[in-house]
Structure 1
Amino acid sequence: MRHRSISRKLLFPADFELPPRSLPTGNSKLDPETIYEAWLASRQIPGQKNSYLVPGAPRPLTLENARLALFVTRTCTFDFLRILWGLNPLRTTLMMALNIVRSLFPAVRGYSQALIVDELQGLVASDSFTWSRLAYLISSEVFRRLIEGCLDSFATSNENTVLGSARFFIEYKQMEQRVRLDVPTMADPTVRALLQESDLFARSFGGGGFGMLSPLDFIHIFSLMTEIASHLILIVSLTHGPFYFGILSLSIFSTMLPLVLSWFSCSRDQTESPASAKEARASDRQERLRNLAYSDIHRPEIALFGLGDWILKSWSSARKVVLASEQPSYARKTSIIDQFSLVELVYAVQNLPLLLLFQSSSASLGSLTVYHTSIQGLVYAFRNLVTTTRMAFQGIFLMSAFTASMKLKPVLNPKHEDMAPFTPVHGGVSISAKGLTYTYPGSSEPALKNVNFSLEAGETLAIVGYNGSGKSTLAKILLRIDDYDKGSLLVNGLDIRRYHPAEYHSHLSAVFQGFSKFSTTVKENVGLGNVEKIGYRQAIETAIHLAEADTLVQSLPNGLKTMLETPGFESFSYPTLVNNDYLSQRHGLSGGEWQRIALARAFMRANEPGVDLLLFDEPTSSLDAHAQNQIFETLEKISRTPTGERRKTIIFITHRLSTARRADKVAMMENGTISEFGSHDELIRKNGSYASLYNASV
């Protein structure tokens, strides 16, 4: 499938910023000024202030919602369709034109058959019937069906290409936004609801299943209206006199009867075609990457290690393979052979005895055929029009969710006029925190309260304390994964909020306490710590060696290529795949082995000269004492130059106070604040909380 790239210049202007950790208040049913306000107003439950429908719930067809739908349509629909049209201008224009032409086929088919039947009736009535004449008429009808079938098949193929291109584009934009948004933005419940409905919109391009319609399918409304109009014109032109009204009533009855009977019939399941090993691998990989982009668990490391572009590139490659191989569910299951059906013609001939009873009238069998085919077409077209209109009404609000979500700005991104470049200082980074306070969304008690400390460039800080004292929360704020509510945090003498998170993260490396376990190979699990070197085997092996994980990797069945099994993720399954080894052979690791993989990931970047801050949150909690000492020896080694001069600042969180003695400074945290701060010896002499905790641990 060819995907034409279009200009990214403010495709969806990022001018909407939702206030963090707050739900909009007031009467959202007032006249909306933005797409976001219209989307939110459509979710409001009538009569219940600040109560909203669950994401994806259908909007009731009310006058207020109709007004909101009109606002959305007028504001963004045509611009959105113009963007999609730009992906394949010629093919999209051709698709729209062919849909209108195809909508005329049923009426033309009925009229053509009526002419043939009338001529056949005349031959029978005049006693001049010949088989050669009948063969000629049938051949003419078959040839017309053949031409119609060729055009229909071409139109279907063209439509699949257009919709496939639009589907890829929408899914890509959705993935791109997911990896771009940060943790504080995703913590807002309104943002999460917005993104859920945006996901439904993106998935609607896959061909239904959600009761929604993609914007490109809106053209079917116009084609259905054209089809209805053509049938009505044909019926009105034939109906004159009471006798014709009688035939019309009989045709309505004969058309509705099989329709009612069809409700009791069962649909047949279609057998899926087997998937090749390449398709299975691509589908499995696209699902894993989508899981990676959508999971909140992985979001901190995606931000820290700058994995967004790599995820998008890898997903795009796998997605194109899948789209090229699968039969779209929205495709019309038609072929040229399907057009050879002469059921309608046979039906008309079967009514020949009926018409012979009406010899005294001016009616013809052709008019009866037209009535039957046109009324049948009217019933099905009108039913489809009602269904399509209802789906389109719901789809408008999902489109508003998608458009509004594309305008979201990450909360942590500074304003352009406030942004400052990260300027490295000699020996690492300096940190100064004063009065830091932070409360998790939905919580009444702050996780951090009035945190104060300072750290010079090149120093090592150990953060210790009881569980739940706020150590990991402080680490996420220092890493610019979360934001603080009050106070100030200076890095290299400048407010941390003035740094763009992506630039700031490029100078850091870390191991999180809840580190990610990626559902991929050992090579990628480690290499994601520095995606620019993910293809360099030497860099990956060096990181593994620094993490003391050489023996672990050598013991795995496929070494660096071993697929690791991760909890909470089920791989895409393919029962029709003959050779399923790729999807079934995954290797599980213990907690300590996974921790070594996470350490190796951090060491991929930690040893780089531009990385000035290393923050390790419980990096050796699952390792034995000997392995723990080796890791801290490695940290000490890479934090200094060959001459022993300090070049990186190190912060580590630990429960093992024996390792805290290695640090220049120790921060004792209790109840969300730093109760004691100083060197190990100073805190021991102080004989406070740290000394008590240390004496209890040795």
Structure 2
Amino acid sequence: MCQQSKPQRLKRSSPPPSLATPDRTQFQSQAPPLDSCHRVQKAWLASRVIPRRRGGYLMPGGQRPLNKTNIRLATTISRECAFDLLRVLWGLHPIRTSLMMCLNIVRGLFPAFRGYSQAMIVDELQSLVSSGHFTWSRLVKLLVAEILRRAFETAVDSFATTNENIVQDSARFFVEYQQVAQRLRLDIPTLAEPVVRDCLQESDLFVRSFSGMGGFGLLSPFDFVQIFALMSELASHVLVLLSLTGGCANMGALLLSVLSALFPLFLSRFGFTPSHPDAPYTPQEARTAERQEKLRNLAYSDCHRPEILLFGLGPWILQSWANTRTAMMHDERSTDSIRSSLPQILSQINVSDLLFALQNMPLLLMFQSSSASLGSLALYRSSIQSLVFTVGNLLTTVRMAFQGIFLMGAFCAAMNIRPQLNPPDEEVVSYPTIANGMKIEARHLSYTYPGSKDASLKDVSFTLEAGESLAIVGYNGSGKSTLAKVLLRIIDFSEGDLLVNGVDIRRMSPSEYHHHVTTVFQGFSKFNSTVRENVGLGFVQKLGSQTAIEHAMHLGGADTFVHSLPNGLKTKLDISGFDSMPYPSVSGATAHGPSSRIHHGLSGGEWQRIAISRAFMRADRPEVDLLLFDEPTSSLDGHAQNKVFDTIDKVSRAPSGEKTKTVIFITHRLSTARRADKIAMMEKGTISEFGTHEELLKKGGSYAALYKASV
């Protein structure tokens, strides 16, 4: 796995060759070893191939069969990225992680010591009974000593568990953070690739395994420590058995082991097994969990992806998610500390093993003539039982670990996926600022959506000078919104050239380019949040400024209804079809229970004003050179429409009246199109006519016909 030079970060590097697949997937790596990254990617993809089925791949998360080929692939993945990943995770808590590994090995020895302790008690009891000097005080001393030993063992287990939880929480936060951050970095063309989506799905399964949520067949890297603990336990039982096999009645001991193994079933049958029900969420925890889930959904959402990319919301979402995730982890640790109180620890002391030892007392008379002591018999029986159980656990763990290796490979591969719109590092140029806005030159642009046979854009060419305004008109399906997404650098073009201020747009970083653009998409986002955030996310740096948000709402016309909402800017807006996740609170109410958190519905026109206000959060900033509006007033009446376009014109000019920004808007209303300096008439994916309103009317072509039909 490629890592970043900074600690606790995975390395990103320059793009290696594509995977051996028809899909145009490219994985990142900025620094050596480039070949190592590529080998992991190839091994992960090869493990998904279904034998004897041409072009067939396992579904994401599918179980890899244990065969020679997959063992070789698993070895490759482990060799290339397992050590680096474990080194990064170990670096989060070096001392605690080392202590966790040592304690797990020590805890693996506890069962053998427990068996010896029981054997000593039984032998002592046998000696006391045989000698005829049996005293209750001696028995009580032995039992107290055994209980103290078990209390010490339980305390060690409790400390080890607490330490392990801290290490696991840090590792889980790290991998979740990396996964969310990578999701936010990826652009729409990259996410459209099927192999990339599959890789991200398996990477997500790997991340979930750190929370114990992955289900059957998933094992996180820190769970691999259990293998060492099981091997330690297995070795201790084997040594015990080797020391006892000389003079024990093997068959009888084995029979007793089988019978004693049934004893826990009777305990659970009659309800003696302790249960630990999950503690309910408090109202504050419910709100924190709800916000964490919403932020994670934003990072994974495809429908919100254009605005997340264009408005540069990635860092804000990532930081907000990290804050809420940290708060959740703090709450969980507080709950765990409450559960680890002294009464709880004492209640966890398992007395069933004591009962197993004491139940052998009636058998003393039967074995008085035997050369083997009753203690050695009990020890042999428990060791046989534990040996069988440990071997079963070890086989299951190894099988899960084998599957987990491929999910780890998916995670390593996913962390090196490079967004397709990002230019190679050596070709990146800064955004060239010029006076009066942005100059756009499109030369023979073409674009076809993945999976489609017909091109959505065909040979589109036009030139728009800095400070000019352009209206794009045409029938439905003519490619207007697709052209807007290409101009906004949301999707790529397959043929042609697009120059911005004289520089190839493909040489600019999309994130830097987006700093100089604002927009209203035709399918704008409706965020499941407050009015403040729905507007303020247009320029997240001013999200905390009520003055900036109210100014943007005034420009967009949203202030006319926002102040009449139940809680003003704090009103939570209703999102039709939003599937929220309830979190039970102590009082039994859900996260949406209190009346103050009821979501308020808006009409289509009101939502459109919110989206326009979001765009105006940054429209009048000096670094913004392009204002692009895709059907921004489709749900507004004529008066409101004129007011919005008057505002757009005002924002695009300096106080002196000079044009300082380039404006592009898509509209069906040709009366609005007349406002623009230039008009582009689109038909069947291409610009059939381009010029001023008067020039196109004189042509008497498609625009003139459409205009006459609308008058």
Tell me how far apart the structure 2 counterparts of residues 269 and 669 of structure 1 sit (CA, whole Å).
68
Match of 1:305 in 2: 311
1:527-573 Cα distance to aligned partner (Å, 9 max, x none): 11111111111111000000011121111111011111213322231
The alpha-carbon distance between structure 1 residues 8 and 686, as it changes in their structure 2 partners (threshold 3 A), is: farther
Larger deviation: 155-164 or 576-585?
A: 576-585
Query: Which one of the candidate residues 411, 419, 427 is aligned to 2:428?
Result: 419
The answer (yes or no) to whether the contact 2:652–2:660 under 8 Å persists in 1 is yes
Match of 1:220 in 2: 226
1:339-393 Cα distance to aligned partner (Å, 9 max, x none): 5333222222222232421222112110122123222222322222122111111
Larger deviation: 265-274 or 84-93?
A: 265-274
Please report how far the alpha carbon of residue 627 of structure 1 lies from its aligned counterpart in structure 2 after TM superposition.
Answer: 0.5
How many residues matched?
688
Matching of residue 503 in structure 1 with residue 512 in structure 2 = yes
Match of 1:244 in 2: 249
Larger deviation: 124-133 or 570-579?
A: 570-579
The answer (yes or no) to whether the contact 2:652–2:661 under 8 Å persists in 1 is yes
Match of 1:100 in 2: 105
Query: Which one of the candidate residues 445, 452, 455 is aligned to 2:454?
Result: 445
Amino acid at match of 2:428: M
Match of 1:294 in 2: 300
Q: SS at the partner of 1:487? A: strand
The alpha-carbon distance between structure 1 residues 6 and 274, as it changes in their structure 2 partners (threshold 3 A), is: farther
Tell me how far apart the structure 1 counterparts of residues 683 and 52 of structure 2 sit (CA, whole Å).
46
Tell me how far apart the structure 2 counterparts of residues 360 and 453 of structure 1 sit (CA, whole Å).
106
Match of 2:239 in 1: 233
Amino acid at match of 1:298: H
The answer (yes or no) to whether the contact 1:464–1:653 under 8 Å persists in 2 is yes
Tell me how far apart the structure 1 counterparts of residues 494 and 94 of structure 2 sit (CA, whole Å).
49
Match of 2:291 in 1: 285
Please report how far the alpha carbon of residue 520 of structure 1 lies from its aligned counterpart in structure 2 after TM superposition.
Answer: 1.1
Q: SS at the partner of 2:497? A: strand
Q: SS at the partner of 1:489? A: strand
Query: Which one of the candidate residues 629, 642, 665 is aligned to 2:678?
Result: 665
Amino acid at match of 1:402: F
The alpha-carbon distance between structure 1 residues 198 and 9, as it changes in their structure 2 partners (threshold 3 A), is: closer
**Residue pairs, 1:113-512, within 5 angstroms:** 113-211=118-216, 212-241=218-247, 243-257=248-262, 270-326=276-332, 336-338=345-347, 340-512=349-521
Amino acid at match of 1:13: R
Please report how far the alpha carbon of residue 588 of structure 1 lies from its aligned counterpart in structure 2 after TM superposition.
Answer: 1.5
The answer (yes or no) to whether the contact 1:114–1:369 under 8 Å persists in 2 is yes
The answer (yes or no) to whether the contact 1:529–1:601 under 8 Å persists in 2 is yes
Match of 1:72 in 2: 77
Tell me how far apart the structure 2 counterparts of residues 137 and 619 of structure 1 sit (CA, whole Å).
84
Larger deviation: 173-182 or 320-329?
A: 320-329
The answer (yes or no) to whether the contact 1:429–1:492 under 8 Å persists in 2 is yes
The alpha-carbon distance between structure 1 residues 197 and 594, as it changes in their structure 2 partners (threshold 3 A), is: same
Matching of residue 14 in structure 1 with residue 27 in structure 2 = no
Identity %: 58
Match of 1:642 in 2: 655
The answer (yes or no) to whether the contact 2:438–2:626 under 8 Å persists in 1 is yes
Q: SS at the partner of 2:71? A: helix
Please report how far the alpha carbon of residue 19 of structure 1 lies from its aligned counterpart in structure 2 after TM superposition.
Answer: 4.7
1:220-251 Cα distance to aligned partner (Å, 9 max, x none): 0011011011111111211114x521333223
The answer (yes or no) to whether the contact 1:17–1:407 under 8 Å persists in 2 is no
Query: Which one of the candidate residues 630, 633, 640 is aligned to 1:627?
Result: 640
Q: What TM-score results when the alignment is normalised by the length of structure 2?
A: 0.93
Tell me how far apart the structure 2 counterparts of residues 547 and 192 of structure 1 sit (CA, whole Å).
37
Q: What TM-score results when the alignment is normalised by the length of structure 1?
A: 0.94
Tell me how far apart the structure 2 counterparts of residues 82 and 188 of structure 1 sit (CA, whole Å).
31
Larger deviation: 583-592 or 92-101?
A: 583-592
Match of 1:28 in 2: none
Amino acid at match of 1:592: G
The answer (yes or no) to whether the contact 1:667–1:677 under 8 Å persists in 2 is yes
The answer (yes or no) to whether the contact 2:44–2:409 under 8 Å persists in 1 is yes
Amino acid at match of 1:313: Q
Q: SS at the partner of 1:34? A: helix
Please report how far the alpha carbon of residue 9 of structure 1 lies from its aligned counterpart in structure 2 after TM superposition.
Answer: 8.5
Q: SS at the partner of 2:697? A: helix
1:282-322 Cα distance to aligned partner (Å, 9 max, x none): 11111110111100111111111111110011011111111
The alpha-carbon distance between structure 1 residues 154 and 582, as it changes in their structure 2 partners (threshold 3 A), is: farther
The answer (yes or no) to whether the contact 1:18–1:408 under 8 Å persists in 2 is no
Query: Which one of the candidate residues 548, 552, 566 is aligned to 1:543?
Result: 552
1:515-534 Cα distance to aligned partner (Å, 9 max, x none): 11111111111111111111
Please report how far the alpha carbon of residue 13 of structure 1 lies from its aligned counterpart in structure 2 after TM superposition.
Answer: 2.9
Tell me how far apart the structure 2 counterparts of residues 630 and 675 of structure 1 sit (CA, whole Å).
30
The alpha-carbon distance between structure 1 residues 280 and 328, as it changes in their structure 2 partners (threshold 3 A), is: same
